[in-house]
Chain A
Amino acid sequence: MSTLFAILFYFATLAFVVGLFYRISVYARTPSPLKIPTTPAPTTTGGVVLRMTREVVFFESLFKSNLWIWGLGMLFHASLALVVLRHLRYFTDPVWGWVVFAQPFGMYAGITMLLGLLGLWARRLLVERIRYISTPSDHLMLVLLIGIAVSGLMMTFVAHTDVIAVKGYFLGLMHFNVQMLPSDLLLGVHLSLVVALLVVFPFSKLLHAPGVFFSPTRNQKDDPREHRHLSAWAAKFESEKN
């Protein structure tokens, strides 16, 4: 099982990194021929950075549009961030001070993350409009995340696994040295689902994470009168006949 997971994790990490970089490079390469910020929009680069920060950190637009989705989404994403931070302890030795400090928060964040996910799923099932727009993959994505959260929480609160060995395993993987992984059902489930998440990420709606940074309606400055904006393919029309 140790070798199997080693192969899976190397493969998943590769798929995640290469897939994501490929996607991001496609976004970065594709031109924006016209100025289309949703106005009122900032007129300076600093203003755009602030706007993007408010979007990414506080989900500003979502806050304006629907408090339920905002609250549940915020609960999920903020908890997820804490949980991920907590997991850094499996990849660092010695563990950084602030990661140590975040441990108890990360532990309870696992519970709030699950609550957020269940709330979002309830909306998807119960609200007619959102049920209408949901595809099977939308439900499966939530199931996947809920599976990761539940199996992780079980290991924290119900049936502990040998975390020292788990840490040894991942530190080993990072140095291409496969150690023994505890043969524990919950751990197996948890890690399999994480592998699935990593692989699915660059091919799915999880691309909203990098996508938001490339959204022209949010990341463009509102200065079309002051500066001429011209993309390469649009400029060709001008060289043709002036």
Chain B
Amino acid sequence: MADIVAPAYRTIPIIPALIPGAMEGKGPFVANEKINEALGFPGQLVEDWHDKAIAKMGELLSKYRSFRVFMDACVHCGACTDKCHYFIGTQDPKNMPVARQDLMRSVYRRYFTLPGKLFPKLVGARDLTREVLDEWFNYYHQCSECRRCSLFCPYGIDTAEITMAAREILDSIGYGQKYSNEIIGKVHKIGNNLGLPGPALVDTLEGLEEDVKDATGLDVRFPMDVKGAEVLLITPSADFFAEPHIESLIGYAKVFHATGTSWTLSSMASEAGNFGMFIGNYEQLRKIALRIREAALELGVKRIVVGECGHAWRVAYSFWNTLSGVGSGADEVDKFAQMLQKQLDHRYRQPTHICEFTWDKIQQGALKFDKSANDKHIITFHDSCNVARGSRMGDLPGGQFEIPRNIIKAVANNFVEMAPGTTHAQTFCCGGGGGVLTDDLLELRVKGALPRMEVLQQSVDEYGVNFMATICAICKAQFTKVLPIYGFDRKMVGGVHQLVSNAIQLGPK
């Protein structure tokens, strides 16, 4: 992979010219039989894939209003054409959101609309051929489901919904992606995306307790499977051992320690990430989310707190209540949800983001910081796409932007924003989200990071930024890999709770 080089920065961020076919190819690795069958998908491409795919498409059209309306509503106005980071980085016209949608829409028109059946050429309709199917596999794995296009569309058409539908169709005919499906298999079998077994986790946590003891002289605990704890922390498994993720895990533990919160991790639900969303499969999405419900019921916790993770927070915030009853406001007769919701303490938001938890405690004056501990850093904040456009924090819309920034400003002295139009709701994806964080898609990841890297470079030149904080495990992993290719130090990226960890005062030593 050494031959992958970073694309040149655009001197003025003009809209790039088209290079048709720039990202043509076979796409990511295809899942093998064993991986697919473990999830209940056909092992390999079925013989009658054509009919099965069209039938599946019809099923999805009847189950998802988003998919149904989005197939009809587009007028090809072109507003989205320059909004996708993958288009900007690759210049492949099929990475323009509308063109990516049209890979599906053209088939929808052919099989599900009268004009497409009568005059396919006129309305851009086409048969589902093997070439089209391969094109789907390739280009629907060049979308990170970041929703930036949906923000700008006059009808709110969200390409993520169409990407999910495409992946769902592909899985249903045995043409799934290795990376996502393999990871989902690990969650079911072992409990987390990284495949870390329970005993290894406990070892890691004990090691962390020793490290923190060496550094602070205090017994900061990292408890596992403690029944009757108040808080169950659900965090991406990368937090347990990957750098810089682990620094944030230490930060969460210190916050719980400093506020005297009894908390626990769960070996059964040792993963916040939910790749079921990436592949658009409701049953997988639900099955993975149910692990958290089971762990909460078994441990008898009162609150569920979620660690720094982007798509995971979207699933937790927006979908958990639906999928597993983790939330509030279920109907009295809704036994399934009430079973859990009776146990949870509804004075708190369910689920709570770790940033909400920390910010509430800061506002209550329960935490003390030595801000100078972060003085070596000039910090900027990268809004993670699915937190920004698929979730919220706090009570007001936009809290997902304010709360992490408020925390950074409370624990550090030097904070600057990156260029407007690339942060808050309009943030660019890191280039690695939504099921593409795999080395077989490294070229795509490097190119997709271009718009973020450009503005990061700007803030480095202008303000001397040397730390980009973010609250997503995928962002952290992606940037760690991609920053050096753009000539930055890989250690520039880190978590918000890493900064909290640096500055927090845990009482007299």
Contacts and interface: CB of A to CB of B under 8 A. Distances in A.
A175 interface: no
Contacts of B492: none
A69 B161 contact: no
A234 B328 contact: no
B48 interface: no
B121 A136 contact: yes
A180 B154 CA distance: 43
A133 B98 contact: yes
B63 A233 contact: yes
Interface in B77-125: 77-83, 93, 96, 98-99, 102, 113-115, 121-124
B329 interface: yes
B154 A228 contact: no
Interface in A34-52: 34-36, 38-43
A224 B317 CA distance: 7
A234 B77 CA distance: 34
B115 A203 contact: yes
Nearest to A41: B397
Contact of B154 (A34, A38, A62): A62
A127 B18 CA distance: 11
Contact of A129 (B61, B73, B93, B336): B93
Contacts of A30: 61-65, 68-69
A34 B122 contact: no
A197 to B, nearest CB: 14
Interface in B169-225: none
Contact of A27 (B68, B83, B96, B329): B68
Nearest to B83: A65
A contacts with B: majority SS: helix
B397 A42 contact: yes
Given A41-B397, A208-B73, A214 B65 contact: yes
B94 to A, nearest CB: 9
A182 B273 CA distance: 69
A33 interface: yes
Contact of A33 (B93, B113, B322): B322
Contacts of A233: 63
B334 A59 contact: no
B317 A32 contact: no
A123 B76 CA distance: 11
B283 interface: yes
Contact of B73 (A61, A215, A226, A237): A215
Contacts of B52: none
Interface stretch (B144-152, B444-452, B468-476, B477-485): B144-152
A129 B389 contact: no
B156 A32 contact: no
Nearest to A64: B152
Contact of A133 (B102, B115, B161, B317): B102
Given A132-B99, A229-B321, A65 B158 contact: no
B425 A211 contact: no
A230 interface: yes
Interface string A10-37: 0000000000000100110011111110
A61 to B, nearest CB: 5
B282 A66 contact: no
Given A39-B397, A224-B317, A212 B283 contact: no
Interface in A45-75: 55, 59, 61-62, 64-66, 69, 73
Contacts of B68: 26-27, 30
Contact of A225 (B77, B158, B327, B400): B327
Nearest to B151: A38
B140 interface: no
B212 to A, nearest CB: 32
A229 B322 contact: yes
B15 interface: yes
Given A38-B156, A61-B154, A217-B150, A242 B392 contact: no
The CB with the most chain B CB atoms within 10 A, among A133, A134, A140, A204, is that of A133
Nearest to B287: A237
Interface in B239-298: 282-283, 286
A138 to B, nearest CB: 5
B406 to A, nearest CB: 16
A217 B75 contact: no
Contacts of A59: 154
Contacts of A93: none
A205 interface: yes
Which 5 pairs, one residue from A and one from B, show the smallest C-beta to C-beta distance?
A211-B73, A135-B124, A65-B152, A40-B397, A217-B156
13 contacts: A36-B158, A38-B151, A39-B400, A124-B76, A129-B93, A133-B78, A135-B124, A224-B319, A225-B329, A228-B325, A230-B322, A234-B286, A237-B286
